[in-house]
Amino acid sequence: MDPIYMDHHATTPVDGRVLDAMMPYLTHEFGNASSRTHPWGWHAEEAVDKARQQVAAALNCRPDEVIFTGGATESNNLAVKGVAAAYRDRGKNHIVTTKIEHSAVLQPCQTLETQGFRVTYLDVDRYGIVDPDEVRAAITDETALISVIWAHNEIGTIQPVAEVGRIAKEAGVLFHTDGVQAFAKYDSDVETLGVDLMALSAHKIYGPKGVGALYVRKRRPRIRLAAQIEGGGQERKLRSGTLNVPGIVGLGEAVELYGECRDEERSRVEALRDRLHEALRDGVEYVHLNGHPTERLYNNLNVSFEFVESESLLMTLRNIALSSGSACTSASLESSSALLATGLDESLAHSAVRF
């Protein structure tokens, strides 16, 4: 049997049209976008500007509010640590987040705790959804940032981001979301969502690895960030370093292509997911759905197979690419902290498989 790839939350293949758009900047259009004295540099800068406009169009923001990074992990670190460092001198030393955030948010928060910041980690319900009222209750006069993941990378649950955004705005608190799994797949209008910062990545939407972006609001309010990488002044001095022009071009092209087929792709993949879930439910005993039954990513199905360890199952299904959780923690044999946070029994958490 030919191998079947069902691990698109970990990464996606590069679309051929994306690769075609990137190729000139990997070959003859090899200029540095910071070189302002010759055509190679001008062409590279023009390509970056176009990609910035493509990403901004999907976010419904200004192009200068898009900061290109090396990926979503860097974007999340820049958002969380950057806000913390920039607003501490205003007496803001408190962050509100959830217990099921990606490690790219949780670990920076834990690092900030060692530096004297307070972090409130909110519980979620059995579906993995945070209660907006608990977000509101956690806010204090010292709160600098609320960070809630838009769509979960393991269980697929979609959070009430727009409602949390309204709460943050009413309280005058900045709101960041890890938008990696939902960006471009869903309407990503930052005004509708009410977010001030959003991390995104190219390789989750058929773009290249090693490139991402951070949306940083510049008005109502203008966000201050402390740079985490210095030495060059690129990207409004928020992210120094030679721009990855081919990768940035690929990100822009992937965003535009997704915009053209988003609704059609959602209907197609959602039907496939539901068909798979129905077949598992009808054909296998003791199968449990993890995450919300409807408020979930259309390309996510996370189930636990009672009495079977997920690692053993994955080793048996060698011709099917699956995972037991986040690719970032796939080397760990511990149960998913996100599943445990939903109240799932540890044995079921240890038998979870993500399609």
**Residue numbers annotated as active site:** 328
Q: Can you tell me the distance from the alpha carbon of 79 to that of 226, in angstroms, rounded to the nearest whole number?
A: 9
Contact call for residues 101 and 128 (beta carbons, < 8 A): no
Phi/psi of residue 172, nearest 5 degrees? 70, 30
If 0-12 CB within 10 Å is exposed, 13-18 middle and 19+ buried, where does residue 141 land?
A: exposed
For Cα atoms 207, 211, 214, give the angle at the middle one, nearest 5 degrees: 110
Amino acid at 60: N
Contact call for residues 253 and 21 (beta carbons, < 8 A): yes
The CA radius of gyration of the chain, in Å to the nearest whole number, is 21
Q: In Å, how far are 74, 145, 153, 224 from 105, measured between CA atoms?
A: 10, 12, 13, 18
Contact call for residues 82 and 238 (beta carbons, < 8 A): yes
Beta strands 118-122 and 94-98 are parallel
Q: Can you tell me the distance from the alpha carbon of 200 to that of 195, in angstroms, rounded to the nearest whole number?
A: 13
- For the chain, the first-to-last Cα distance in angstroms comes to 18
